[in-house]
């Protein structure tokens, strides 16, 4: 019998993977990886490692979850070391719990290697702390995507009034509905909102608005998935804490000065 590692690859920047997660890549006989996993991480795999793409796009699944589950079981039963490489953290909207259940039912040994989730990393790279001693003492991670045909079971009143910062995953397509529900249940229309597209990567973009204006801004700027939605007063801190943009602006400014000289 082999073994399966459910590994969180982090939000995109390959430098954010854990040491243990990297070791699981290096030791794997088989790696099943998702669309949002940085392909640079696959370069650490052994030359003879079998790489299997399991990518999923919004409204389109390259490989169904049931197929992924069966692949994990099949390769482990062949005595392989299997690394299931997932964007962010396996247990934060990554369906890692379902995969772990399948492995447990089939008595396959497995370990879960947590990863840095986008709900924390993307705002951090945008200069937005999800908590702050003077502003926000609580935050919640929320899915903005529902199963097709299912009713909305989110407790909007509690989210609107009981949580300081909301980190909303997979919500670009439902942004209008999200803003409407939050304001309808008591959140001020002037509450700051940020969308961070491709968080932690060089092509990261961040737009800022309010619950009342962010919809128009997102359409104008053509912000798409993958994006994190951050709702709360902490968004106001971005103007002074946006370190990531400054980090990338400095080399270009220096190059421009050298060229002028």
63 flagged as catalytic: no
Phi, psi of 66 (to 5 degrees): -60, -35
Question: Annotated catalytic residue: which of 50, 56, 164, 242?
Answer: 56
**Angle 151-158-233 from CA coordinates, rounded to 5°:** 115
Question: Annotated catalytic residue: which of 3, 13, 29, 34?
Answer: 34
170 flagged as catalytic: yes
88: left (phi over 0), alpha (psi -120 to 50) or beta: left
137, 96, 95, 141: which is closest to 122 by C-alpha? 141
Cβ(91)–Cβ(112) under 8 Å?
yes
56 flagged as catalytic: yes
Quote the CA–CA distance of 84 and 94 in Å, as a whole number.
11
Length of the chain: 261
Question: Annotated catalytic residue: which of 3, 29, 80, 170?
Answer: 170
Which are the catalytic amino acids? Answer: 34, 56, 170
């Amino acid at each position: 019998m082999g073994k399966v590692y459910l590994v969180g690859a982090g939000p995109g920047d390959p430098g954010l993977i854990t040491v243990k997660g990297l070791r699981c890549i290096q030791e794997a006989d088989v790696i099943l990886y998702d669309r949002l996993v940085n392909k640079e991480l696959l370069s650490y795999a052994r030359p003879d490692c079998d790489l299997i793409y399991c990518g999923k796009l919004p409204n389109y699944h390259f490989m169904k979850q049931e197929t992924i589950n069966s692949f994990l079981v099949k390769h482990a039963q062949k005595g392989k070391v299997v690394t299931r490489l997932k964007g962010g953290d396996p247990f934060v909207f990554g369906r890692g719990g379902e995969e772990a259940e399948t492995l447990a039912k089939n008595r396959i040994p497995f370990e879960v290697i947590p990863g840095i989730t986008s709900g924390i990393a993307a705002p951090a790279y945008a200069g937005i702390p999800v908590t702050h001693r003077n502003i926000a003492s609580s935050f919640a991670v929320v899915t903005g995507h529902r199963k097709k045909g299912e009713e909305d079971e989110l407790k909007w009143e509690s989210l609107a009034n009981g949580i300081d910062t909301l980190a909303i995953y997979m919500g670009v397509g439902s942004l209008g509905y999200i803003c409407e529900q939050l304001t309808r249940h008591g959140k001020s229309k002037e509450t700051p909102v940020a969308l961070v597209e491709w968080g932690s990567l060089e092509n990261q973009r961040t737009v800022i608005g309010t619950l009342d204006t962010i919809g128009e801004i997102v359409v104008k700027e053509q912000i798409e998935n993958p994006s994190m939605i951050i709702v709360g007063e902490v968004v106001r801190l971005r103007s002074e804490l946006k370190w990531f943009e400054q980090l990338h602006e400095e080399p270009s400014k220096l190059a421009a000065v050298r060229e002028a000289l």
